[in-house]
C-alpha cells in the first residue's frame, strides 16, 4: 500500500517556466490537498478538492492551478514559475469526513531561479 505518491521529488525551474506536480493516492480517499511549506511560515493550504470533480482555493492560491483528474489523482500546475514559489510542496488526502486523519506524501522540493 503506497499511500500518497508525489512526483517529482526535486525540481529546478527558471523564472517563467511551467510545470505540473503530480499526486496520486491509493486509499480511495475523497478529499485531496496541496500545501506548501516554507521556513517561518509553516504549512499553508494552496488548493483542495473535497471530492472528485470539485476544487477550491485555500490560503495561497495565486500563481497555481489544480486538476482533480479522477478520484486518485490531484495535480498542481505552475503556469509561470516565480522565485517566490520556491518551496516544499506536499500533497495530502483523507476521507471526506473531517474526523479522518490526513495522510501526506513525501514532498516535492522546488527551486525557482
Partner 1 sequence: KQEVTQIPAALSVPEGENLVLNCSFTDSAIYNLQWFRQDPGKGLTSLLLIQSSQREQTSGRLNASLDKSSGRSTLYIAASQPGDSATYLCAVTPGGTSYGKLTFGQGTILTVHP
Q: Report the interface residues with partner 1, using CB under 8 A.
A: 4, 31, 33, 40-45, 48, 50, 56, 58, 90, 92, 94, 96-99, 101-107
CB closer to partner 1 out of 47 and 81: 47
- Which lies closer to partner 1 via its Cβ, residue 14 or residue 39? 39
CB of residue 14 to partner 1, shortest distance in Å: 24
Give min distance, CB of 98 to partner 1, in A: 5
In whole angstroms, what is the distance from residue 91 CA to residue 53 CA?
Answer: 17
Query: Among residues 46 and 78, whose Cβ is nearest to partner 1?
Result: 46
Q: How far is the CB of 16 from partner 1 (least distance, A)?
A: 28
Amino acid at each position: 500500500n503506497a499511500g500518497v505518491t508525489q512526483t517529482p521529488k526535486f525540481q529546478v525551474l527558471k523564472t517563467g517556466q511551467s510545470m505540473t506536480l503530480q499526486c496520486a493516492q491509493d486509499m480511495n480517499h475523497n478529499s485531496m490537498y496541496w500545501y506548501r511549506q516554507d521556513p517561518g511560515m509553516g504549512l499553508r493550504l494552496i488548493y483542495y478538492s473535497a471530492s472528485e470533480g470539485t476544487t477550491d482555493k485555500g490560503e495561497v492560491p495565486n500563481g497555481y492551478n489544480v486538476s482533480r483528474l479522477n478520484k486518485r489523482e490531484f495535480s498542481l500546475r505552475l503556469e509561470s514559475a516565480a522565485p517566490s514559489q520556491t518551496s516544499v510542496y506536499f500533497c495530502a488526502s483523507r476521507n471526506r469526513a473531517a474526523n479522518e486523519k490526513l495522510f501526506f506524501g513525501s514532498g516535492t522540493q522546488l527551486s525557482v531561479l
